[in-house]
Amino acid sequence: MTEAELVLQARRGDDAAWAELIRLHQEAVFRLAYLHLADPAEAEDAEKTLKYARLAAGKATEVFAYDDAARFLEQARAAAEDLDRPQEQLELLEALADLRFIADTRERTLRAFEDAVQFWKSLPGATNVDGARLYRKLGEIGTRWGVHNPKTREHIMEGLRLLEGAPQHPESIKLMIARAFDLFRYRPEAESDYRAAEESAQEAYRLAEAALSLTDMSAALDALASLYITTCDFSRALDTTRQRIPIVEALNDPQERTDLARMLAWCHEYRGEFAEALKYGGQVYELATRYGRFRESLVAMVDSARQSLLWDRWDEAERWCALHVETAGRLGLEHPSARGVGAIRATISAFRGDPERARALETETESFAVGHPGNAWLVPYLRVFVALACGDLERARTALEEGLVLANIPWSKLQFLTHAMRFAWQAEDWGYVDRLGREALDLARASGARLELALACRAVGASRRARAQPEEAEALLTEAEALLRTLDCRFELGRTLRELALLRRAQGRANDAARLLQEALTHFEALRALPDAELTRELL
């Protein structure tokens, strides 16, 4: 088997291929480095140690042997210290921090960059550009890449201060992009400034384009698209993300390629274009796995599982969840995405008539953190999903009220307004429709979120049916039906057809009601949605 074939098999989880690749790597790539670093006479020569340790670190990184690479960089840094080369020590500390980021060990990345900053401060001849670059990288990690760091804003502002008066410096442009992210990312609406964020990203893009910096052009567009997702302008987010495609193709940068595919997947998901979302989600998984970013590949798996669940492709969702569990176990990783996997598997189990297994699956992952504190609303969000699937309305109501308080940006508000409409319809608690129905309809319609709009139409339409307002009920329920047929969401379509059947009966149209119920039953049986199938049979 060639080395390229071994790499491919290792990326697919073949432990034997991985072991053979490492063996070949150590023999063929490290041979020269080991000869010099292991020989006592050579080891006394700091110059050679520095040279070969850096070489070995680079080669180790090429085949994802990140622990080896970090060890060699530490040896190189020690050699640079022996040679009294502080500037080279700083370069190696920054290289180690960059390696931690590439290896997707985000918390260790923060510590590594903070160590580099402290060393930079100790240098008598420290340059502002070096300091600004380190502060900028800390700012990017805490904003664009989502690693919680309370000092993120402080780092960005310090980097900008160091380059005050040089707005066109390449590092100033990058810091401007980091600042754009910081003005809205992981911040409640009351602490955000959406207009300033947009202006900062647009100005950064203009400067990057003038400087012919493709990397910064891509990052600035990413900031804009992320802002439009936050503010629920999904069509604009997709258009902006599509602008990145030729830029990223010209760059061929692994991180930018992965991020672009992820953003395309999210934009299509939020517009209800689930086939496209899953296409790009698969690309994220392939790219993250190819480049050895295993934590990122775990997130890609749960994203694809969620999109499959929303699209009512439950077997596909289960497949992604099983892959996540197997991969995390093989790598010995505990990742916040496991909580999403537990909730998705629990929801499917409940939909298929096994609430006991659903509760067990949810309980298994309740202890997992959700990652960034700005995502605290995800905990009640997942609980509502599972509780509604299990028919536990009181637990769903408690989690829903908690989430409505925590949802403090337009995007999370949309999610909980939709949950409120799910709950109102299932519990026939029309007080939620009175309180939040208009807001749910307006936000879903304005954002282009078609699945959320369909669910809001169904809930408000059902409340109108229950209150003997047939004309409004007709308009809203037929809109929900049309949307769900377009989206090809069979489970939610079945439930909506069942609701329409009740309206048809109230209108004295028994044959039409029976036809709708029969179609609904066909969808439920195809999905093995036993509780809904049984309820539909009773109505028939």
Return the DSSP state at 144.
T
* Three-state DSSP state, 445: helix
pLDDT tens-place string over residues 383-401: 999 999 999 999 999 999 9
Average pLDDT on 209-229 reads 97
In a domain, 159, yes or no: no
With a cut of 70, say whether residue 267 has pLDDT above it. Answer: yes
Q: Which residues have a Cβ under 8 Å from the Cβ of 537 and sit 6 or more positions away?
A: 521
In a domain, 455, yes or no: no
What percentage of residues in the chain have a pLDDT greater than 70?
A: 91
Most confident of 91-105, 255-269, 371-385: 255-269
Per-residue pLDDT at 14: 59
Confidence band for 43, pLDDT divided at 50, 70 and 90: very low
Return d(Cα 203, Cα 471) in angstroms, integer.
Answer: 50
In a domain, 490, yes or no: no
More confident of the two residues 43 and 355: 355
In a domain, 85, yes or no: yes
Average pLDDT on 62-68 reads 82
Amino acid residing at 32: L
Return d(Cα 417, Cα 457) in angstroms, integer.
Answer: 12
Average pLDDT on 174-195 reads 94
What percentage of residues in the chain have a pLDDT greater than 90?
A: 74
Domain that holds residue 19: 1-126
Element (DSSP H or E) covering residue 13: none
In a domain, 263, yes or no: no
- Please tell me the total count of domains within the chain: 1
With a cut of 80, say whether residue 166 has pLDDT above it. Answer: yes
Confidence band for 150, pLDDT divided at 50, 70 and 90: confident
Return d(Cα 190, Cα 409) in angstroms, integer.
Answer: 9
Per-residue pLDDT at 372: 75
DSSP states of 50-111: HHHHHHHHHHHHHTT-HHHHHHHHHHHHHHHHHTT-HHHHHHHHHHHHHHHHHTT-HHHHHH
Task: Name which of 41-55, 123-137, 232-246, 506-520 the model is least confident about.
Answer: 41-55
In a domain, 41, yes or no: yes
- pTM comes to 0.88
In a domain, 30, yes or no: yes
Q: Are 388 and 397 in contact (CB under 8 A)?
A: no
Return d(Cα 67, Cα 74) in angstroms, integer.
Answer: 11
Amino acid residing at 298: L
In a domain, 531, yes or no: no
Confidence band for 15, pLDDT divided at 50, 70 and 90: low
Provide the CATH number for the domain around residue 56.
1.25.40
More confident of the two residues 27 and 475: 475
Q: Are 477 and 458 in contact (CB under 8 A)?
A: yes
With a cut of 80, say whether residue 540 has pLDDT above it. Answer: yes
pLDDT tens-place string over residues 268-280: 999 999 999 999 9
E-only strand ranges, 403-502: none
CA of 407: how far to CAs of 74, 283, 351, 382, 400, in Å?
Answer: 44, 30, 26, 13, 10
